[in-house]
Every structure is written in C-alpha cells, then in structure tokens.
Structure 1
Amino acid sequence: MRTITYRLGAFYFLLFFGFGAHLPLLSLYLKDFGLTGMQIGTLLAAGPIVSILVQPFWGMVSDRFQAQKKILVLTLTLAAVSGLLFTVADTFRAFLILYVFLVLFQSAIVPIIDAVTLSHVQKVKGDYGSVRLYGALGFAIAVWVAGHLSEAVGLQSIFYLYGGAFLICVGIAITLPHQGLPLSTSIWSGLGKLLRIPQYIVFLVAAFLIFGPINANNSYFSLFYTAIGGAVAGVGTAFLLFAGSEAPIMRVAGRFAKRYGMLSLIVLSGTVSAIRWYYYASQPSPRMVIALFLLQGISVGLFLPIAASYIRENTPIEVQVTAQAIYAAFANGLGTMVASYAAGWLLDHFGIFSTYRYFAFSSLIGAILLVLLAVRQKNVSIKRNFHKI
C-alpha cells in the first residue's frame, strides 16, 4: 500500500511538472511565433470552454464503465502527443486545433487521479494533502527548469518537458490498482444524484466564486506586478515562491481539517484570498507582494486538498469521478473563464487594480456562502442528534 502512495506522489509531481513547464510560457511562445494578441486570447479562451464541456463527460464515462485506469492511460498519451505536435505547428489554425485536443484529453486526468487517490488514502487511513503536495512541488520546480531551459535552448523545450512528463505518467498509471467502486446504474442517473445534493450545489457555486479569481490571477499577475513597478524577471521568482508555498500547507491540511472541520478551513482559504486581492488592489510595493508569498499557500494549499475531500465525503461513492469532474469544470473551467473575461473588461475600462477589487469581492461572496453552508450543516447535525435522544 505504501508503494502505491509513492507512485501516486510521483504521478502528481510529474503531472504538475508538465503543467508548470508549459502553462506560464505558452503565451510567450505563441507571441514569439508571431500570433497576434487577439489570436492568443482566442486560443487560450478555448481551454476553459472545452474543459467545461468535456470534464463532466469524462467523469460520467469513468464512473459508468469503471474505466479510470484505461482513460488515464489513453488521455495522458494523447495529451502528450498533442503537446509535442506544437513543435511542428506553424499556423494559428494548427495551434488552435492542437490546443483544443490538448485540453480535451488533459481535462480527464486530474478528476480521475484525485478520485483514485482519495479512495486509496481512505483505505490506508492516509492524508490526501500529503500526496497532492507533490503536484505543487512539481509545478514550482518546472517553472524554474522551463524558464532556464528556454533561455538556453529555446521556448520549444517547454513542449518536450510537458510531453516527457506525461509519458512517464503513463507508465505509472499502468501500475495503479483498479478501484472497484460500486457501478452506477447509468450516466444520467448518476448526474441526477449529484444535482439533488444541496450542499454539493452550494459548494460548486462557492468554488466558482473563489477559485475562478485564483486561476485568473495567473494570467493577470504579470500585468499587475509590472504596474506596481516590478521587473519582468520578478514574475518568475514570484510564481516559484507562490507555487512552492502550497506544498507545506497541503502537508498539514488534512490534520487541521480533522481538528477544525473542512468547511471552516475552506472559509479561511476564501477569506485569505479576498484579503490578498484587496491588498493587491491597494497598489503595494513589489517587495511586499513577494514577501507575502505565503498567502498563496494558505489560500490554494488549503483549498485544493480539502475541497477534494469534502466532495468525496458529501457525494455517493458510485459517482465520485463525476463529482470531482463537475467540480473541476465549474470551478476551474467556468469560474476561470468568467473571472478572466470580467477581469479583462475591468482592465480595459478601469485599470488593473479594479480587476483585483473584483477578485476580492468575488472571493468574499464565496466565503460567505461557505459560512452559510457550514451553519446549515451544523443545524442539520444538531437536529439529527436531537431526534436520536
């Protein structure tokens, strides 16, 4: 069992190494290749749209046919091939088609491996955050490696790093055990079960409001950082510290969740996010932004592992992958798309600091929704205990 835990940790490290190798530098590669700002924006906007459409599909198929391992191997391979083909693409149309396919296959991976990991750690009485933290480490290291390698041999190297990391993940995925969860009666009945769980729906909305701005910040941070007087080189340092700060928080997230409750810590995460964005909107110095890098760890490092565990504990076991996939599509896909478009409109009309005021307001509303959800669940628990007496 411990060997499986190590394999899952290695899988997360390599998976997010692949993400970190290409995501921060993709727009720069496309710009250097000669694409216009409109073309780059159109291409990057296609990602959230595709993930919104296909992530629930991958989850429902995986649950219905118990094909987690097969889908992982297939989608990892095809995503790696799509990434490697970027090195030979030479037109906007080719880049767009490849990016759509890359996101199409990539969207299946995280919800499935999350569900597999959550099932495993429950069996061995382990902690999801202690495994997921390797993803944060992989992303942080990849940003540094890709940046230096790109300077040395060119930006095309980001796709070789991405493809190589994903192909190694294929080898790990083949060795993972089959979960053997109860079989869902049908795809649509499984979806219907989820939509009848009120706490799941409220949680999705809150995640949409909190995590959408967190992801959108990845696109707008460089504009913000240079607007407050920071150097372009400092953006890479900031991302390295931000991503690296998530790992130690993930390590202890499960322990704190048992002591203080999952919703309490997710409320803390949303509140810290709101405070962080309000502080950014106040136009702080670049030095203070870097100095307070741990705010990223508290917000993201708490939110990611505890949110996945909360969904597992509040949804039927036979639709676990579907539940994680819909959460990913709603928070990472739709949330990111809406936050990015709203931020772009505010940027054009009122400037970059108004964008961060919007991020703060959205995160605060999400945190308030989670407080109301926590109060409701506490009241339900009290009523149940009362009826037992």
Structure 2
Amino acid sequence: MQNNNFNIIDCDRHVIEPLQMWDDYLPKDEKIKKISLSFDNPEAQKQRVLNGYPDISIPPTYLIGEKPILSNWDIDQQVASALVNAQSIKERKSATNPVDQVASMDETSVAQALIFPTFANYIVNHQHVDSHTSLAYAKAYNNWLQDYCSYSTERLFPVALISRHDSSTLVEQVKEVALLGWKAVVLRPEPIMGKNLGHPDNEAFWATCAELDIVVTFHGGTHLQGQTVGMERFNTRFSLHACSHPMEAQMAFIDLLESGVFERNPNLKTAFLEAGCSWVAHWLWRLDNICYNEFPSLTKNNIKMLPSEYFKRHCWVGLEIGEPIADTLNIIGHQKLIFGSDYPHPDHLHFDLASIQDEMPILSTEQIRDILENNPKALFGL
C-alpha cells in the first residue's frame, strides 16, 4: 500500500516508561512504595546454565517495593523473553521519549497517535497496592504523559490511566482528565480489587464519562497481578497471552451490557483495543440469537434491545492486520473499526501497515481510509 494520502491515526500506540519518571513525578510520601528494577547477575546466570538454560542474561524486572509487577513470569518465561529481546530493543527505546516516538511515526506515515501506557498499566492496577498508592501512581504517570505529549500536541494525544482501586475517586479523576482537554481514558477490562466494570459503585463514573464525552478504552494485557481470564488454569505466556486480550474484551462487553451501563448511558463511547475484531461477529450472534431471549425476565430491565444494537451504539473495536473480518463487517459495519499498531510491543512489530490492502482485500480503499482516519476522528474528536 502506498500512503494514498491517508492521514493515519494510530489508536493504540505505547510509551515505555523510563524508571526515573517515577522518582521525578511521584510525591515524596513514605507510604508510597518505590518502583525499582531487579537486574540479573553473573551468579544467577551461571546457576541457570547449570540447570540447563541457555547462557544468556535476562532482562530486568519491575518491582513495587519487594513485589514483582508481573505474575506468571517465572524463569522459563524470562529466558524465552531474553532469547528474542534484541529483536525489539530499538523500537522500545524509541518509545521512552517523544522525539524518537514521533520519528518512528514518521517512518510508517502515522500522522497522529493515541498514547497508552505499558508498565504503568500493571503498576496502577496491581492487586497488592493500596488505593492511595494506586491513585498516586496514576497521577504521576498522567503528569509525566502530559509532559511527554507536549512535545507535539498536534500529533501525540494522551490517554489517561485511571485507578479503579477506590471507586469514590473515579469521578474526580475523569473531571481532571476533561479539564486537561484529553479525549480518552484507559481501563483494564478485568475486575479490579474484586469489582467488575459494571459494579454499582462505578455508576457515577460511567455517567460522568458520557456527560463529558470522554471515550473509555479497554486495553488488556498478560501477566497482571490481578484476576485475568486464563490464570485459573494456565501459567505460560503462550496460553495466557492467547486468552487475556480477546476473552477479557468479550467479558467486558457482557459486563457493561448486563449491568445496564449501556442502557442507562446512551451517549457513552467505548473502544476495545488489541483484541482484534473477529470475535465481535461470533459474540454478538450468540448473544442476539441464543442468550438474549432465553430468560427475558432476567434481562428486561437492563437489556431492552438486541445486544448487537448496543454494540453498534456504544462500541468501536481495533482490527488486526490480516484477521478474518467479513462477518464482523456484516454485523457492525466498517464504521466501527479503528486501527492500532501496538507499537513498540514486540508481539505486533511483524505486522506491516503498508500491507493492509494486500492482507485485507475485502476492504475498499475508502473503507481503509475510514478505518485509518475518519472513524478515529469521529470517535475521539480529533
């Protein structure tokens, strides 16, 4: 694909947070645990070799106090990561600062990008962090992100990270986002601290987002210290990564549907990212044709039209280059599709935006233009 004069908007681009930013932006509060890195050492590497592992150094791991930010990240997973680490060092380093971030956008003709966290999403949502500390982490990250994106305010659009540990703080967090002029917030789709997205304590949050026209994006991830689908039966990167993104997206939609969040907030806008869009067709067909009419007395108050109608009213979804989308197009139309590169995360670097027309011939040039440009403009008000 030549550029075709597309004004490409990347709806899922990430920073890599430098460790120093936590020291620079967190308040001086003894109650707030320090963020640090645990580094490999020659003795540990030697012991791994004696145990049959490759003679390779493993990347450092993040800690909150003494607790790792990642779950199910044992030596097997760390060594596997180390073996492919060199393949994405350049890209990950470029995302630590806005100058190189913008330069990387230029290389792939990306005009504008919504900017999301990487490690901060694990830190803020960590189940062993208290609510005061989680909120402090979120504010520190957002303040740093504001400075990061100020380098190019016409191209870098910050997405605020919200702490869900204490529901009573949610409305104030959203109001602060709106005062900054930001367009969106990001939540993990899982239950956090035992509360689903649609928990009654979160009701004012959804109403405020709808009122202030703040888009709520859902971005999952593997290895959270929390309650992600798949953790109850798997412990490897392969299986956990296969489950975490698409399955959590499906359950997040169910959560907001059945709890009545969509019914009570007709102007609420949401977006599901890095989960693909192929699941949408199967999920909505099942909900419309099997679940919706099964026990009407249980759904009549909160689900007053077909689930697919709520999806079309409230939801946008990011596509993956090359995935099968014919059925999703038939159900929700291409106007609800957006594109996110997931840059600089290694699992998506092999996808080439320039090949989208070859990989997805079902889409016309004008439909691709809508997905890359017009749909995100309409969603985020860019």
Pair in the same fold by TM > 0.5: no
- Larger relative helix fraction: 1
- Larger relative strand fraction: 2
Which protein has greater RCO, CA pairs closer than 8 Å, 6+ apart?
Answer: 1
